[in-house]
Amino acid sequence: MRKDIVLARIAEINTQLDELQKKILSEAKLVATTLTKTFVAKQFPDKPFDVLILDEASMSPLPHLYWAISRCCEFVTIVGDFLQLPPICIAKETMAHKWLGRSILEVLGINSVKEALSDHRINLLKKQYRMAHEISTIPNRFFYENKLEDDLSTFNRRLDDGVSDSPLVLIETATMNPWCSRLSTGGRFNLYNALVCATLARKIIANIERIRKDCNNPNAKVGIITPYKDQARLINKIIMDWKLSDLIRVSTVHRFQGGEEPIIIFDSCEGPGVRVAPMLDDTKHDSDARLVLNVAITRTKNRFYFVGHTKHLLSDLHRDSVLARIIHYFYEEAEVLDSGTLVDKYFTTDFEKWADALISTTSATREPFSGDLHTEKNFWQTFYQDLKIVKERLIILSPFVTVQRSGRLIDYFRAMIERGIEIRIYTRPKKQQTGEMANQADIVIEQLRGIGARVIERRSMHQKVAILDKAIAWEGSLNILSHRDTGEQMRRLEGQSAIEDIIKNLELDEDMPVGNQTEEKCPGSELPPTCNGSGYLVVRINKKSKQIFLGCSTYPRCKYTKHITGSSRSHS
């Protein structure tokens, strides 16, 4: 009974508070609120406003905005930038895009500087106060057609962050050639870039008190932004693991719109393994790249770090794309630092830890036994557990390799090689693969060799095998570096004697194993037909004499052969 009385009294007090708030709001000369609260807050006054001023208009969903305008009876002032991102619309339907994916500026037909200058409804705010002059030059040149004017306060700004004195800094990752991986959901991430950004931010916040003093902001943080939510999530997990979330703000470009920080680190994320996404390539249909890049750059006040694999970006982008032109501008005007200069004693440990986290799936339900048969559903979790205990050598025979599957493993392979583990990959030569598989083989083989793995191209191979030290072997029907979603089986074997026998039978320790394609070009047969130097020399064996020799990879088109001294071999 007493509880009912108390609850009734609480409800009565809440009603009185609501009425009080409503009275205060209805009598106020100025009410500042979010757009959403104009229709969800029950305390919001029923009486229409005389004047509505709407800020960040480009981000405002049209239904919300139209509702707020309907509450105004005299004047509406819309403040926004037609070169910033519109609301996020996940649905693909035309009607959804029409009502949820466009900004009011697009509806009004204001999409360019020229349209803005010729529209009598527009009052252009040309002077900018946020960015240092050296930074504002980029959006001014590439987006605003040199119509921006810099306030005097933006010149000669000084900020000592312990890494660079330049307002523009390019962190070049090309020397490490980091792989960018695509998730099955379509998202992408780049572990090396993520750790470079986090490490850079950690170095900078060692000077956070001096930075806050220099920019006269006691709450200043370091901002890390990237176009991709999966990359932002990965960076944020690293920052949280380091317990630095109070000093470093990580987000996507879309979510950072409307914000600012004295120092921004922009992670392009792109790298070998994927084509540059339309989100950063304005030459693609329906691309928002110009808006994404403009928002990213204009979030900073004093210093802008661009982290990227510029060799990959420039090789994939059209030379007239805005990002390609911005990269060239950075080469001319920015300080260029190799990402390797940021690597500290913790970096390798952190890289291995997060590479491990990215490949790990649900742990195996029990300890595996020798002879266990696994399907594609439970193979990976056990195989990943086995990878973690390799001490000396990993050998994988995978006739085919694809970007998607290899991309899930390559960061961990890099970490293994850093620990001194030898990695040897056997796969078919590109010319024994067709279409897109051949292109993917080219990309993956180059990347594997780039991280220090030894890749041997073996003609007509069909075995799918993995050998971990001389302790564990996997054999079956699953291509470890190309498997996607087909039903397969793999058997797990243990025991040094059995594994040594597998190594011998597959000629994995032979200097000149039959079927291996060398890197030596074929000079071409003196008699036609000939490859004209387009083939490679392959180790072959004369079935009668058991002599091994080198022959052209294009045989029988080219019948060039080369004798190998002392090449007799017992070959059953």
User: Cα 460 from chain centroid?
Assistant: 35
Cα(128)–Cα(148) distance, integer angstroms: 7
Q: Give tens-digit pLDDT for 554-568.
A: 888 898 988 877 655
The radius of gyration computed from the CA coordinates of the chain, to the nearest angstrom, equals: 31
DSSP-derived 3-state class of residue 36: coil
pLDDT band at 367 (very low <50, low <70, confident <90, very high): low
Predicted confidence at residue 329, as pLDDT, reads: 98
**Which conformational region is residue 532 in: left (phi greater than 0), alpha (psi within -120 to 50 degrees), or beta?**
left
pLDDT band at 159 (very low <50, low <70, confident <90, very high): very high
Average the pLDDT over 122-131 and give the result. 94
Q: Which of 337, 334, 303, 335 is nearest to 211 (CA)?
A: 303
Asked if pLDDT for residue 500 goes beyond 70, the answer is yes
User: What is the rounded end-to-end Cα distance, in angstroms, of the chain?
Assistant: 94
Asked if pLDDT for residue 142 goes beyond 80, the answer is yes
Predicted confidence at residue 345, as pLDDT, reads: 63
Cα(69)–Cα(52) distance, integer angstroms: 7
Cα(198)–Cα(226) distance, integer angstroms: 12
Beta strands of 380-421 (E only): which ranges? 393-397
Query: Please, is 557 exposed, middle or buried when counting C-beta atoms within 10 Å of its C-beta (0-12, 13-18, 19+)?
Result: middle
Asked if pLDDT for residue 332 goes beyond 70, the answer is yes
State the residue for tokens 């990752």.
173
Is residue 133 a contact partner of residue 150, using CB atoms and an 8 Å limit? yes
**Angle ∠(441,540,550) on CA atoms, nearest 5:** 90
CA dihedral 126, 131, 136, 140 (to 10 degrees): -30
Average the pLDDT over 526-552 and give the result. 84
pLDDT band at 510 (very low <50, low <70, confident <90, very high): low
Average the pLDDT over 189-217 and give the result. 95
Q: Give tens-digit pLDDT for 14-40.
A: 888 888 888 888 888 999 999 888 888
For residue 499, what is the enclosing H or E element?
helix 496-505
Asked if pLDDT for residue 470 goes beyond 70, the answer is yes
Query: Please, is 113 exposed, middle or buried when counting C-beta atoms within 10 Å of its C-beta (0-12, 13-18, 19+)?
Result: middle
pLDDT band at 511 (very low <50, low <70, confident <90, very high): low
Query: Please, is 223 exposed, middle or buried when counting C-beta atoms within 10 Å of its C-beta (0-12, 13-18, 19+)?
Result: buried
What's the CATH fold of domain 133-344? Rossmann fold (3.40.50)
Q: In the CATH scheme, what is the code of domain 360-505?
A: 3.30.870.10
- Tell which wins on pLDDT, 436 or 327: 327
Q: What are phi and psi of 113, to 5 degrees?
A: -60, -40
Average pLDDT, the chain: 90
Q: Give tens-digit pLDDT for 246-265.
A: 999 999 999 999 899 999 99
Q: Give tens-digit pLDDT for 178-198.
A: 989 887 777 899 999 999 999
pLDDT band at 364 (very low <50, low <70, confident <90, very high): low
Asked if pLDDT for residue 285 goes beyond 80, the answer is yes
Positive or negative, the Cα torsion across 81, 87, 92, 98? negative
**Angle ∠(505,475,483) on CA atoms, nearest 5:** 130
Positive or negative, the Cα torsion across 405, 411, 416, 422? positive
Residue 397: strand pairing partners: 426, 465
Is residue 73 a contact partner of residue 49, using CB atoms and an 8 Å limit? yes
Predicted confidence at residue 143, as pLDDT, reads: 97
Q: Which of 436, 94, 133 is nearest to 304 (CA)?
A: 133
Average the pLDDT over 370-385 and give the result. 87
Average the pLDDT over 72-94 and give the result. 91
Predicted confidence at residue 370, as pLDDT, reads: 64
3-state DSSP: the chain helix, strand, coil percent, rounded to 5? 35, 20, 40
Predicted confidence at residue 537, as pLDDT, reads: 86
Predicted confidence at residue 171, as pLDDT, reads: 98
Predicted confidence at residue 211, as pLDDT, reads: 96
Predicted confidence at residue 187, as pLDDT, reads: 86
Contacts of 58 (CB under 8 A, 6+ apart): 80, 81, 82, 84, 85, 86, 103, 104, 105
Whole-number Cα distances in Å, 162 to 194, 211, 377, 442, 519: 20, 9, 49, 41, 46
Predicted confidence at residue 213, as pLDDT, reads: 94
Percentage of the chain exceeding pLDDT 90: 61
Least confident of 61-75, 317-331, 520-534: 520-534
pLDDT band at 359 (very low <50, low <70, confident <90, very high): confident
Domain ranges for the chain: 23-125, 133-344, 360-505, 518-568
Predicted confidence at residue 69, as pLDDT, reads: 93
Query: Please, is 385 exposed, middle or buried when counting C-beta atoms within 10 Å of its C-beta (0-12, 13-18, 19+)?
Result: middle
Average the pLDDT over 140-155 and give the result. 96
Asked if pLDDT for residue 362 goes beyond 50, the answer is no
